[in-house]
Amino acid sequence: MNKRALRADLLLLLTACIWGFGFVAQRSGMEYVGPFTFNAVRFVLGSLSLLPLIVHRRRTRKRTILKAIIAKTGPEPSPKTQPETAFRAFLTAGSVLFVAVALQQMGIMFTTVGNAGFITGLYVVFTPVFGVFLKKKTGLPTWMGAVFTLTGLYFLSAAGHLDRINPGDIITIISAVFWALHVLLIDHLVQKVDPIVLSSGQFAWCGLLFLTAVFALEPLVPSWAALIAPDYQLQSWQSFPALIAAFGSAGSVPAVPSFSLINAFIPILYGGLASVGIAYTLQVVAQQDAPPAHATIILCLEGLFAALGGIIILGEKPGVFTILGSVLMLCGMLITQWEVIRGKSQGRPEPASGS
| Share of the chain residues as helix, strand and coil, in percent rounded to the nearest 5 | 75, 0, 25
Total domain count for the chain?
1
Residue 313 lies in a domain: yes
Mean pLDDT of 104-129: 83
pLDDT classification of 89: cutoffs 50, 70, 90 = very high
The domain in which residue 13 lies consists of: 3-70+83-341
Residue 349 lies in a domain: no
Mean pLDDT of 112-133: 79
Higher per-residue pLDDT: 75 or 277: 277
- CB count, 10 Å around CB of 2? 8
Residue 104 lies in a domain: yes
pLDDT classification of 244: cutoffs 50, 70, 90 = low
Residue 354 lies in a domain: no
Mean pLDDT of 283-304: 71
- Weakest-pLDDT range from 25-39, 56-70, 106-120: 56-70
Residue 42 lies in a domain: yes
- The number of C-alpha atoms within 13 Å of 96 and in the hemisphere containing its C-beta is 19
Mean pLDDT of 27-36: 84
Mean pLDDT of 121-126: 78
d(CA 115, CA 108): 9
Higher per-residue pLDDT: 266 or 344: 266
- The number of C-alpha atoms within 13 Å of 48 and in the hemisphere containing its C-beta is 12
Alpha helices for 109-219 (secondary structure H): 113-120, 123-130, 140-158, 167-189, 195-216
Residue 348 lies in a domain: no
d(CA 81, CA 89): 11
pLDDT classification of 351: cutoffs 50, 70, 90 = low
DSSP string computed for 108-138: HTTS-HHHHHHHHTTHHHHHHHHGGGGT---
* Helix or strand holding residue 4 (H, E): helix 3-29
DSSP string computed for 217-246: TGGGHHHHHHHH-TT----S---HHHHHHH
Mean pLDDT of 326-336: 78
Residue 136 lies in a domain: yes
Higher per-residue pLDDT: 126 or 84: 84
Single out the residue of 355, 307, 108 nearest to residue 225, CA to CA.
Answer: 108
Residue 77 lies in a domain: no
> In this model, does residue 281 exceed pLDDT 50?
yes
| Residue 215, CA distances (Å) to 11, 240, 306 in order | 38, 7, 30
> In this model, does residue 61 exceed pLDDT 50?
yes
> Are the CB atoms for 22 and 308 separated by under 8 Å?
no
* Greatest mean pLDDT among 96-110, 157-171, 328-342: 96-110
| Residue 80, CA distances (Å) to 58, 66, 85, 194 in order | 12, 16, 10, 10
Quote the pTM value: 0.80
d(CA 332, CA 152): 8
